[in-house]
Structure 1
């Protein structure tokens, strides 16, 4: 038993030293101007979406990208169903690459069971199956983004695939940055996203 505790302590130290929180899932670090956000990706529940995101991370496409869009209480139509999130990716600085990459088959929240709760990461899209490089993080619970929700006319919702496990304070700081017509002004730098 004593040996088990020693191994556990060593494992904890190794995880602390590398800066990545311990998780049974793959963890990515979103490195921003305001600090780091650690996100675990549910590769078992949303294998295609999480797998595609990890492929993009491993290819280094998010280096020098941005959080560029924010939806808050004040920048949405008063009669619209409100959504609260920050959106990022490479569209702003490399839309050509974003458009050239493969699209991800749509995994609904009904299929995965991953709901759009506070800190959940999900893929941005136009129609189902059009997601690629752009993603968003939920601020608070956003049931309108789930399958059958009212935030998308097709009712299919968005493909959630992970959740923030450290750095919610950083996410909220980003959310509060100046914006104009739903776009951060200036955009918030993402230095890189790494495993």
Structure 2
């Protein structure tokens, strides 16, 4: 004989709602994002190592902003005509606000390429700040092989400097390594007699020779620099 109580219990169990958590799987974990590879910008601006008697200076050229002067400098470098050029001038007698060293061809004038067009800072957006690499010239458009390395801000060299000649000196790069070498050149012995006019008391004795000038990769720790004017 079937027990009616057991039948009722079985029917009750079959009709009871089963809790959802007993029949559903847990949701899948969120996907793990793929690692993000940082974008490393490669500095394509040319860099040149000037190996001198007193150490090595590395300069970076602003070939996009000052293409004429940068190409002129590289022409001397790539043709190895800069080998043997000399740092011959240090403006110690101009005071702390106008410190620079000057280098160029002090030997065979036939090594000089023709003069280049002047690129004023008002056109290039560059400025004569500490570390700037600028073309030396007498008049706009007569620059050849001589250049300055600035050891301080000389904003009076900019084309728009008050009281200037409206042309200034053309910046085309800056020092990114070896600033201490430039300082040693600046503080090297000066001839008591050499130099005419404003150059008197500024001629190095002995002069500091550029043994080699060659293109090099950008230094990993190269500073952002100061020659590009802020927008």
Q: TM-score, normalised by structure 1?
A: 0.80
* Equivalent residue number for residue 94 of structure 1: 108
Does the CA-based 8 Å contact 2:121-2:169 persist in structure 1? Answer: yes
* Equivalent residue number for residue 61 of structure 2: 41
Q: Which has the larger radius of gyration?
A: 2
Selected match of 1:177 from 165, 188, 197:
188
Give a deviation string over 1:92-130, Cα, whole Å, max 9, x none: 1223433xx211100001111110111110111111000
Q: Establish whether residue 194 from structure 1 lines up as the match of residue 214 from structure 2.
A: yes
Alpha carbons of structure 1 residues 4 and 66: separation in structure 2 relative to 1, 3 Å: same
* Equivalent residue number for residue 195 of structure 2: none
Partners of 2:137 and 2:175 in 1: CA distance: 20
Alpha carbons of structure 1 residues 151 and 125: separation in structure 2 relative to 1, 3 Å: farther
What's the CA shift for 1:3?
Answer: 9.8
What's the CA shift for 1:65?
Answer: 1.6
The structure that is helix-richer by fraction is: 1
Q: Spell out the pairing of 1:1-195 with structure 2 (5 A cutoff).
A: 4=37, 23-72=43-92, 75-76=93-94, 83-90=98-105, 92-98=106-112, 101-149=113-161, 154-180=165-191, 181-195=201-215
- 3-state DSSP of counterpart to 2:129: coil
Alpha carbons of structure 1 residues 150 and 66: separation in structure 2 relative to 1, 3 Å: farther
Alpha carbons of structure 1 residues 89 and 150: separation in structure 2 relative to 1, 3 Å: farther
Partners of 2:104 and 2:56 in 1: CA distance: 16
- 3-state DSSP of counterpart to 2:117: coil
The structure that is strand-richer by fraction is: 1
What's the CA shift for 1:149?
Answer: 3.1
Unaligned runs of 5+ in 2: 1-33, 192-200, 216-231
Matched positions, count: 173
Pairwise CA RMSD of aligned residues? 2.5
Does the CA-based 8 Å contact 1:151-1:157 persist in structure 2? Answer: no
* Equivalent residue number for residue 18 of structure 2: none
